[in-house]
Amino acid sequence: MRTLKNIFFTLFLLAVLTPFLILGYFLTSQEYDISSLIDYKPDITTRFYDKNGEKIANIFEHEHRYYAHFNEIPPRVIEALLAIEDTTFFEHRGINLDAIFRAVIKDIKARKLVEGASTITQQLVKNRLLSREKKLSRKIKEVVYALKLERALTKEQILERYLNEIYYGHGYYGIKTAAEGYFHKKLDDLTLKEMALLVGLPKAPSTYAPTKNYDISMGRANRVVSRMYALGWIDKDTYNKALLEKPKVYDDTLTQNSAPFIVDEVLRRVADMGIKDIKTGGYEIYTTIDMRLQEAAKESLKTAYDMSLERIKTYNSYNEPQNDINSSLLNGALVSLDSKSGDILALVGSVDYKKSSYNRATQGRRQPGSAFKPFIYQVAIDLGYSGATELIDIARTYTYEKDGEELKWQPKNYEKNYKGLITLREALIHSRNLATINLVNDIGLSELLREFKKFGIKNLPPDLSIALGTISLSPLQLAKYYTSFANSGIQVEPHLIRYIEKGRNIIYEKQEKSRFITEPTQAYIMTTILKDVIKRGTGRLANAKGIEVAGKTGTTNNNVDGWFAGYSPTIETVVWFGNDDNTPMYKRETGGRIAGPAFSMYYEKLIQLYPQIQREFKAPEGIMEVNINGKKEYFSDISKPPRAEAEVNAEEKLLF
- Positions annotated as catalytic residues are 85, 370
Q: How many CB atoms lie within 10 A of CB 535?
A: 14
Do the Cβ atoms of 222 and 210 come closer than 8 Å?
Answer: no
Residue type, 650: A
Q: What angle do CA 523, 301, 266 make, to 5 degrees?
A: 80
Region for residue 629 given its phi and psi (left: phi exceeds 0; alpha: psi -120 to 50; beta: otherwise): left
How large is the angle between the packed helices 120-129 and 136-152, nearest 10 degrees? 110
Distance from C-alpha of 134 to C-alpha of 609, rounded to nearest angstrom: 59
Distance from C-alpha of 530 to C-alpha of 603, rounded to nearest angstrom: 16
Distance from C-alpha of 449 to C-alpha of 149, rounded to nearest angstrom: 71
Q: Which residues contact 318 (CB under 8 A, 6 or more apart)?
A: none
Q: How many CB atoms lie within 10 A of CB 138?
A: 13
| Residue 593 CA: distances (Å) to CA of 76, 149, 204 | 62, 70, 59
Distance from C-alpha of 445 to C-alpha of 287, rounded to nearest angstrom: 41
Residue 580: burial class (beta carbons within 10 Å; 0-12, 13-18, 19+): middle
Residue type, 53: G
Q: Where are the beta strands (DSSP E) in 462-570?
A: 490-492, 497-502, 505-509, 514-516, 550-555, 561-567
- Cα pseudo-dihedral 7, 11, 17, 22, rounded to 10: 130
Q: Which residues contact 295 (CB under 8 A, 6 or more apart)?
A: none
624 phi and psi, to 5 degrees?
-110, 130
Do the Cβ atoms of 355 and 384 come closer than 8 Å?
Answer: no
Q: Where are the alpha helices (DSSP H) in 111-246?
A: 120-129, 136-152, 155-165, 175-183, 192-200, 205-208, 214-230, 236-244
Distance from C-alpha of 455 to C-alpha of 463, rounded to nearest angstrom: 18
| Local structure of 316: helix, strand or coil | helix
| Residue 404 CA: distances (Å) to CA of 400, 407, 569 | 10, 9, 51
Residue type, 105: I
Q: What angle do CA 417, 551, 311 make, to 5 degrees?
A: 70
Distance from C-alpha of 76 to C-alpha of 503, rounded to nearest angstrom: 25
